[in-house]
């Protein structure tokens, strides 16, 4: 199995920032990345996608006949949308105070 280290690192950093429960559950984004990697090892070959905790893992074979899997990570859209809603709500509160 080959893991897209760059995508895993960036996704873990973003999810750790955006998802309150990730900060409650993991001590750092590095801990979250380690969890994501463990999930990749657990689900490789069983699914094409796996999603939990604000991130999505996508599995693909390097070729049809190959047992070599490639795994990349991304942020769940739901996580990004909830984060944007929270930030907008805070900005609107600040704007109301400034008026």
Q: What is the pLDDT of residues 42-74, one digit of tens each?
A: 999 888 899 999 999 999 987 666 778 999 999
Q: What is the pLDDT of residues 22-44, one digit of tens each?
A: 999 999 999 999 999 999 999 99
pLDDT of residue 64: 67
Contacts of 32 (CB under 8 A, 6+ apart): 12, 15, 16, 22, 25, 26, 53
Q: What is the pLDDT of residues 1-25, one digit of tens each?
A: 999 999 999 999 999 999 999 999 9
pTM for the structure as a whole: 0.84
Contact of 19 with 54, CB cutoff 8 Å: yes
């Amino acid at each position: 199995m080959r893991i897209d280290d760059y995508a895993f690192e960036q996704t873990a950093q973003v999810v750790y920032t955006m998802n309150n429960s990730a900060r409650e559950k993991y001590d750092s984004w590095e801990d979250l990345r380690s969890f994501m990697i463990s999930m990749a090892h657990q689900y490789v070959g069983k699914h094409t996608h796996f999603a939990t905790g604000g991130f999505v893992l996508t599995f693909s074979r390097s070729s049809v006949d190959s047992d070599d899997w490639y795994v990349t990570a991304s942020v769940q859209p739901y996580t990004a949308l909830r984060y944007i809603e929270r930030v907008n709500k805070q900005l609107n509160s600040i704007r109301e105070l400034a008026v």
